[in-house]
Amino acid sequence: MPEFGASAIPTPPALSSSRNTTPTPTTTSEEESSQGSASTPDRPATAIPELKRRSKYRHVAAYHSETRASCLSRDSNASPSFFGFRNLVVIVLIVMNLRLIIENFMKYGVLICLRCHDYRKQDLVLGAVLFSLVPCHLFIAYLIELAAAQQVKGVIGRKKKSDLPNGKQMEEQPDFRRTWVYIAIAHTVNASVCLLLTSYSVYFYINHPGIGTLCEMHAIVVWLKNCSYAFTNRDLRHAFLHPSPENNLPTIYDSCPYPRNITIKNLTYFWLAPTLVYQPVYPRTSYIRWNFVAKRVAEFCGLAVFMWIISAQYASPTLLNALEKIALREWASIAERVMKLSTISLVIWLAGFYALFQSFLNALAEVLKFGDREFYKDWWNSPSVGRYWRTWNIPVYQFMKRHIFSPLIGRGWSPFAASVTVFTFSALLHELAVGIPTHNVIGVAFGGMMLQLPLIAATVPLEKMNSQAGKVMGNAIFWLSFCLVGQPLGALLYFFAWQAKYGSISRGLK
Catalytic residues: 430
Dihedral (CA of 231, 236, 241, 246) sign: positive
From 112, 125, 288, 339, residue interacting with a second copy (rule: CB under 8 A): 339
Binding-residue pattern over the window 12 to 51 for a second copy, x denoting contact by CB under 8 A: xxxxx---xxx-x--xx-xx--xx--xx--x-------x-
Residue 122: CB partners within 8 Å, gap ≥ 6?
205, 206, 207
**Residue 87 or 467 having the CB closest to a second copy:** 87
- Is 345 among the residues that bind a second copy (CB under 8 A)? no
Distance CA 111, CA 509 (A): 8
Which residues on adjacent β-strands are paired with residue 117?
506
Interface pick for a second copy out of 270, 360, 376, 495 (rule CB under 8 A): 376
Of the listed pieces 143-151, 170-178, 302-310, 439-447, which binds a second copy according to CB under 8 A? Answer: 170-178
Min separation Cβ 465 and a second copy, Å: 15
Name which of 223, 9, 55 is nearest 134 in CA terms. Answer: 223
Please list every residue from 79 through 138 that binds a second copy, using CB under 8 A. 80-93, 95-96, 98-99, 102-103, 105-106
Distances (CA, A) of 261 to 176, 187, 255, 477: 19, 17, 10, 46
User: Residues in contact with a second copy, total (CB under 8 A)?
Assistant: 165
Single out the segment in contact with a second copy by CB under 8 A; choices: 10-18, 144-152, 447-455, 492-500. 10-18
C-beta of 470: minimal distance to a second copy in Å? Answer: 13
- 172 lies in the binding site for a second copy (CB under 8 A): no
Q: Choose between 207 and 313: whose C-beta lies nearer to a second copy.
A: 313
For the four alpha carbons of 76, 81, 84 and 87, in that order, the dihedral sign comes to: positive
Site membership for a second copy, residue 180 (CB under 8 A):
yes
CB of 256 to a second copy, least distance (A): 12
Minimal distance, residue 367 CB to a second copy, in Å: 15
Contact (Cβ atoms closer than 8 angstroms) between residue 140 and residue 190 = yes
Residue 370 contacts residue 288 (beta carbons within 8 Å): no
Residues in contact with a second copy, shown as a per-residue x/- string from 392 to 431 under the rule CB under 8 A: ------x--xxxxxxxxxxxx--x-----x--xx--x---
Judged by DSSP in three states, 392 sits in coil
Q: Does 177 bind a second copy (CB under 8 A)?
A: yes
Near a second copy in 186-225, by CB under 8 A: 187-188, 191-192, 195-196
Which one, 207 or 452, has the nearer CB to a second copy? Answer: 452
**Residue 69 makes contact with a second copy by CB under 8 A:** yes
Interaction with a second copy in 221-260: which residues (CB under 8 A)? 227-228, 231-232, 234-236, 238-239, 242, 246-253
CB of 119 to a second copy, least distance (A): 30
According to CB under 8 A, which one of 340, 435, 445, 505 is a site residue for a second copy?
340
Compute the least distance from the CB of residue 114 to a second copy, in Å: 25
Q: Is 443 left (phi over 0), alpha (psi -120 to 50) or beta?
A: left
Cβ contact 212:122 at 8 Å:
no
Q: Which of residues 459-478 bind a second copy (CB under 8 A)?
A: 471-472, 475-476, 478
Cα-based torsion angle of the residue sequence 61, 63, 67, 73 in order, rounded to the nearest 10 degrees: 180
State in angstroms the smallest separation of the CB of 38 from a second copy.
Answer: 7
Min dist. Cβ of residue 293 to a second copy (A): 13
Is-contact 110 313, C-beta < 8 A?
A: yes
In this chain, which of 190, 201, 279, 313 binds a second copy, going by CB under 8 A? Answer: 279
* CA proximity to 230, closest of 157, 179, 282: 179
* Count, residues in the chain: 510
Hey, what long-range contacts does 233-238 have (CB within 8 A, 24 or more apart)? 233/145, 233/148, 233/258, 233/261, 233/262, 233/278, 234/180, 234/183, 234/184, 236/261, 236/280, 237/148, 237/149, 237/152, 237/176, 238/176
Instruction: Supply the minimum distance, in Å, between the C-beta of residue 503 and a second copy.
Output: 27
**Residue 205: how many CB atoms within 10 A of its CB?**
15
In the bound state with a second copy, the residue whose beta carbon lies nearer, of 58 and 501, is: 58
Q: Which of 40, 46, 55, 467 binds a second copy (CB under 8 A)?
A: 55
* Residue 168 in contact with a second copy, rule: CB under 8 A: no
Residue 357 makes contact with a second copy by CB under 8 A: yes
Cβ–Cβ contacts within 10 Å for residue 161, how many?
8
Burial tier of 366 (Cβ tally within 10 Å: 0-12, 13-18, 19+): buried
Give the residue with the Cβ less far from a second copy, 249 or 497. 249
**Cβ(383)–Cβ(471) under 8 Å?**
yes
Q: Is 483 near a second copy (CB under 8 A)?
A: yes
